[in-house]
Amino acid sequence: MMKRRINLIAVVLLLISTKAAAQTSRWKQGILADEFIYDTASFPQAHAATIAETPDGLIAAWFGGTKEGNKDVCIWTSRLVHDHWTAPELAADGVLNDSTRYACYNPVLYYAPTGELLLFYKIGPNVGGWTGWLKRSSNNGKTWSKREALPEGFLGPVKNKPELINGVLICPSSTEKNGWKVHFEYTKDWGHTWTKSAPINDGIKFSAIQPSILKYKNGTLQVLGRTRNTVIYQSWSKDNGKTWSEMTALDLPNNNSGTDAVTLKDGRQLLVYNHVLPDSSWKKGKGPRTPLNVAISKDGKKWYAALVLEDSPISQYSYPSVIQGKDGMVHIVYTWRRQKIKYVKIDPSKLKLTPIKNKKWPGLVAPKGTVTND
C-alpha cells in the first residue's frame, strides 16, 4: 500500500513538473538569443539601456556606476561585433566643470538617415534637476563628438527612441516636476534646433511619463507608457504628432516602471513591460518589477500575450528598450537585477499569441514573495 502511494505521489509530481516545463517553453517560443551584454565591468550597477542598429550592427548604451544618482554614474556603450558584445566603453560622464560633477541618466540612441548616430542623455543632481545633452558619432559609435547642451527646458527623448515622421524627429519626453506630465520635442535638423508641445496630460488624472511612439498605416500615431495609476496609458494623434487626444487607460497593468514598444514591419505593435497586477500594498502605484513580458496587438487596443522574458521573484527585470532590425528580428535590452544589461533576440514570426483578458496574463501569475530593488 505504501509503495502504491509513493508511486502515485511520484506520478503527480512528474505531471506537475511536466506541465510547468511546458508552460515555461510556451512563453519562450521565438527567442533566438538570450545573453548578458557583459559579464564583468568596472561599475557594480547598471540601468536604463537603449539599443539601435547601424550599418556596422547593433549598439547598446546604459548608465552605470556605484548607484543611480551617484556622481560616478556615466554612460557606457557596447557594440555587437561578430556575434559578440564588446567590453563596455565610456561614452559620456557628468563632469560639468572643475568643481561640479553630477550623475548621468537615461541614454537614448538613434541612428539618423544622414549616417550620424545620436546619443541623447541627461546630467543632473536628480531627475527633477537634470538637463538634456547630445553627442554624435560619425563612425557608428566607435568614437563620439564633444557633448552639446540642449536648449534650456529641453530634454530630448526621455527614455524611449524618437520616431521620424514627415521629416520631423519626434522625441517622446516627459517631466516629473509639479506632477508627471508627457510632452513631445521636435527637431527638423537632427538636434540643432528644437520646438516642443505643451503637456498632453495635467499630471493629476493621469500621472504619466516615458512615452513610446507607435505608427499605423493610415498615419495615426499612438503613445503609451508608464503611470502611477497602475495602468499603461495611451493617447492618439491624427496630425503627425502635433496634437494628441485625451489620455486614457490601456487595458494592461503597469507597476510604475518603464515600458517600451515598437511598430513591426508587418503592421503589428509589440510592447515590452512588466505585467504586474495592482496590489493593495503598492505605494504610489509601484509594484514588483518582475515578470518582464512581451505582448502583441494589431490595433493598439486588444493585446495578446507572447513571451515571458523573466519571471524570477529575485530582484528586478525592467526598463526595456526594443527595436526591429533590418532583417526583421526584434532586439530587446533591459536591466537585469540592476547588476547587468540583458540582450534578447526574437523572431516575431514565431510568436504564439494568447488573448489577455481582464488584465490577467494567461496561465501564469506574478511570483509571490518577490524581492525587488528600484
In a domain, 15, yes or no: no
CATH number assigned to the domain comprising residue 175: 2.120.10.10
Torsion sign over Cα 279, 363, 224, 330: positive
248-253: strand order across its sheet: 208-215, 221-227, 231-237, 248-253
Residue pLDDT tens, the chain, 374 long:
545 554 444 333 333 333 444 456 899 999 999 999 999 999 999 999 999 999 999 999 999 999 999 999 999 999 999 999 999 999 999 999 999 999 999 999 999 999 999 999 999 999 999 999 999 999 999 999 999 999 999 999 999 999 999 999 999 999 999 999 999 999 999 999 999 999 999 999 999 999 999 999 999 999 999 999 999 999 999 999 999 999 999 999 999 999 999 999 999 999 999 999 999 899 989 999 999 999 999 999 999 999 999 999 999 999 999 999 999 999 999 999 999 999 999 999 999 999 999 999 998 554 444 444 44
3-state secondary structure of 348: helix
In a domain, 360, yes or no: no
pLDDT score for 346 = 98
In a domain, 197, yes or no: yes
First to last CA, the chain: 53
pLDDT score for 6 = 45
pLDDT score for 24 = 60
pLDDT score for 1 = 52
Cell readout for 133 is: 545633452
In a domain, 116, yes or no: yes
Domain that holds residue 129: 36-355
CA distance 121 to 30: 32
In a domain, 275, yes or no: yes
Contact of 229 with 260, CB cutoff 8 Å: no
In a domain, 345, yes or no: yes
pLDDT score for 141 = 98
In a domain, 204, yes or no: yes
163-165: strand order across its sheet: 163-165, 168-175, 181-187, 195-196
pLDDT score for 317 = 98
Number of domains present in the structure of the chain: 1
* φ, ψ (nearest 5 deg) of residue 364: -135, 150
pLDDT score for 367 = 46
3-state secondary structure of 222: strand
In a domain, 20, yes or no: no
